[in-house]
Amino acid sequence: MVRIVLIDDDPISTFVTEKLISKNIKVPHKIFKFQSATKALNDLETIDPNYLFLDLNMPEMTGWDFLEVFKPQQVTPEVYILSSSVDERDIVKANGYSIVKQYLSKPLVKKYIQMIFN
């Protein structure tokens, strides 16, 4: 079972991402949704995700803060930044994290889903 984590404070964005993933991947999967990066950090050890989609601009703990403290103990998930920011500085900064596989712009599109999961 593929375990996918979505961390985004925008419930509409999370809903759209979840539906797009569910509709376009063929393997059995489970999606875990978090509106708080802090809450996600507390639960990730038990979820042990294969894929993690992370928003950058969130209250309390930003995606940048999350990347600074997230240190997976077991298998390292593929981390994708999913942000509405198209600022080149954000893209360069995200690519500076070895754990980040790719920076994707919201909304997530079918082409990205196929590239990631196929």
Write down the pLDDT at residue 15.
95
Give the residues of the chain that fall short of pLDDT 70: none
**For residue 26, how far is the Cα from the chain centroid?**
19
For residues 90 and 83, the answer to whether their CB atoms sit within 8 Å is: yes
pLDDT digits (tens, 9 = 90+) for 63-96: 999 999 998 877 789 999 999 888 899 999 999 9
Domain ranges of the chain: 1-24+37-47+59-88+101-118
Write down the pLDDT at residue 72.
83
pTM for the structure as a whole: 0.94
Write down the pLDDT at residue 31.
97
The DSSP secondary structure of 50-104, one letter per residue, reads SEEEE-S--SSS-HHHHHHH---SSSPPEEEEEES---HHHHHHHHTSTTEEEEE
Write down the pLDDT at residue 86.
85
Amino acid at 72: P
Write down the pLDDT at residue 90.
93
Pairing of strands 100-105, 78-83: parallel
Write down the pLDDT at residue 81.
97
Write down the pLDDT at residue 92.
95
Q: How many angstroms separate the CA atoms of 48 and 62, rounded?
A: 21
Cis preceding linkage at 28, omega within 30:
no
